[in-house]
Amino acid sequence: MLLFLPTALAFVLLQTPNIEQQSNGLHGYISYDAEPAKPAEFGVGMGFYSAAWSLIDEPLADFQIGLASGWILPDNSDDKDRPLAPEGTLARTWKERGPTWDSVFQTVEGGLGYWAGNRFRYGPPKFSMNATPQCYDYEVGSPGWSFFYDTQALPDDRLGIAQLSNRLLIPPDALPFAADPKGKFLGYAYLALPFTDPVPSVDGKAPIGEQAWTCFLATKNFKGPIAYYLPETWSKIGDLFHDAYLFGRGLDARAGRMGGGAMEINTVPQLVATAKDGTRYSKLPRLSFPVDAKGRAVLVQDVTYYSRRALYDDFLAWRRGGPAPTGRFKTEGAFVAKLRTHTPGFDQDGQPIEGVASTFDTQVFADNTWGLVWKPGGLAPRGEFPRYYRHDGEKRVAIAEKDVPRETGLREAQFRRAPAGEPFTSPSAGAWTSPGPKSSSLHVDLVDGSRVHYAWYRFVDQPTFQQYAWSAEKKAALQAFVEELHRAWPIDREYMAPPTTGELVALDPVLLVTPPKGFEVGYVPIVTRQEKAK
């Protein structure tokens, strides 16, 4: 999930001269809180099951809403007044986040959603990793690219994700699903695992912790770890800004601080028109939610924090020569959080919206799941967000469709659809080619209408590792361990505990690949390009 995105979009004149398509149609958070994990040892992981569904009827331009997701921050609660965001970083300009800027120092986020930067929209949402290693100066969303900000791959020294799975393609435009998920659940968790040993400070350089935040997925056709953030991704900020105070304060070394989660409503277009009497009205796209037989839209369940006993301890023992663990998260290392919620607020063009709360509200249900309930006599059909608004001075008032004057043309007006975007490309030099892949380029066509090109790299030869001057011994040890992992952990085993209720969503099966002969272990399929399918 993306916390901050500029939304200054030009007005677009539609076929009806009276109607303008504008940005800033809706903003707000539909959120829940989770009780803090106790004791504090439950700070090395977080996971949950989030409902996936088609929030909109068709792919829309300039549209960004994250479905229910979460954030992980390094726990710097001991810092009461010293800035963590150095002068010169983007976050440091957000004065309201001072005096410590701890909430925008580093994050692991991402999740399910629709993003304004998607190049290949197809209707349902997608899943993407994301992290902000350096105070929102840049973001890392896949093994090669940022979080939709650019179609060119990140510079070699900003790559941060190591692909771990040898069975799954990770495209820069995020992971699509096999079909409309219709409220089925995607499970995902981030666990800090010790793929390498910590590195102490030498010659004034920042120390490097051992925590590699590893993303696990739980779907119908794929389960297990897909990729991890190198510890160096978090520690390097101290060296870059020559600030020893930042040493040991990143997610490579600190416990994760994980609260609740939210649907973040960020960039939603609106159609605006003026009636004969001068009153302004606006219309939003249809936003639909997956309502069950009880009238509930269950959005999140099984919010769980993890301690080292869940997997870290067994993982470390395995890397040091012990037996391979199953990979299943142990229940004695899991803390299932109780959820709380509150009525959300929304705004349009920075003006508060009134009337939405009379249509639906959030609720924590008896089984500790969280979602929405619709009220009788609301302004929208059950399972839908109110679409129409009257502009009353310094506020927007939700109204029924029948109360929008016909002469405005809003009832029939349509929003701009999203066209396919420019290809995601990788460079033909540097970390991508030296030492480079061990196979020729291959390609597959995804359900979202894109073609993904990929090549098989030896694990430690993939681009993200090439920025670091590791010894041959360190690389060989990591390579050998990942080969063991590929042998021991299949994609059809439970790692996360299964969801308490509901069914699992299925990924687009074309994303699942089989290593060719000779590449069965120790090699990973790295995406090198994504473009419109021919």
- What is the identity of the amino acid at 474? K
- Report d(CA 327, CA 490) in Å as an integer: 10
Q: Give residue 12's pLDDT band: very low, low, confident or very high (50, 70, 90).
A: very low
pLDDT of residue 78: 96
Beta strands in 133-222 (DSSP E): 161-163, 184-193, 212-218
Mean pLDDT value across residues 135-152: 96
- Report d(CA 397, CA 401) in Å as an integer: 12
Q: Give residue 17's pLDDT band: very low, low, confident or very high (50, 70, 90).
A: low
Q: Which two three-digit tokens encode residue 288?
A: 């639909």
pLDDT of residue 400: 95
pLDDT at 219 over 70: yes
Name residues whose C-beta falls within 8 Å of residue 479's C-beta, 6 or more positions apart in sequence. 458, 459, 460, 522
Bridge-based pairing state of the strands 334-336 and 296-306:
antiparallel
pLDDT at 496 over 50: yes
pTM of the model: 0.94
pLDDT of residue 54: 97
Residues in the chain, overall count: 534
- Report d(CA 311, CA 382) in Å as an integer: 42
- Between the alpha carbon of residue 367 and those of residues 47, 300, 494, 499, the distances in Å are 17, 11, 22, 12
pLDDT, one tens digit per residue, over 255-308 is 999 888 999 999 999 999 999 999 999 999 999 999 988 889 999 999 999 999
Which range has the worst mean pLDDT, 10-19, 131-140, 480-489?
10-19
pLDDT, one tens digit per residue, over 381-435 is 899 999 999 999 999 999 999 999 999 999 999 999 999 899 999 999 999 999 9
- Between the alpha carbon of residue 314 and those of residues 194, 214, 333, 522, the distances in Å are 10, 15, 11, 21
Instruction: Name which of 29, 17, 489 is nearest 222 in CA terms.
Output: 489
Q: Which two three-digit tokens encode residue 327?
A: 């990979």
Name residues whose C-beta falls within 8 Å of residue 435's C-beta, 6 or more positions apart in sequence. 458, 461, 466
pLDDT at 15 over 70: no
pLDDT of residue 295: 84
- Report d(CA 129, CA 531) in Å as an integer: 20
Q: Which two three-digit tokens encode residue 253?
A: 């070394």
pLDDT at 6 over 60: no
Mean pLDDT value across residues 183-191: 97
- Residue for token digits 């028109």? 273
| CA 235 distance to own-chain centroid | 22
Percent of the chain with pLDDT over 90: 93
Burial of 428 (0-12, 13-18, 19+ CB in 10 A): exposed
Backbone angles phi, psi at 21, to 5 degrees: -95, 125
pLDDT at 77 over 70: yes
Domain ranges of the chain: 12-264+300-337+469-501
- Residue for token digits 């001057």? 469
The mean pLDDT value of the chain amounts to 94
- Report d(CA 257, CA 253) in Å as an integer: 12
Cα torsion angle, 384, 387, 388, 389, sign = positive
pLDDT of residue 2: 39
pLDDT, one tens digit per residue, over 19-62 is 999 999 999 999 999 988 777 799 999 999 999 999 999 999 99
Q: Which two three-digit tokens encode residue 424?
A: 């995601």
pLDDT at 7 over 60: no
Bridge-based pairing state of the strands 351-354 and 395-399:
parallel
Would you list the DSSP string of 488-521?
H--SSS--SPPPSSS-B--B-GGGB--PPTT-SS
Q: Are 156 and 148 in contact (CB under 8 A)?
A: no
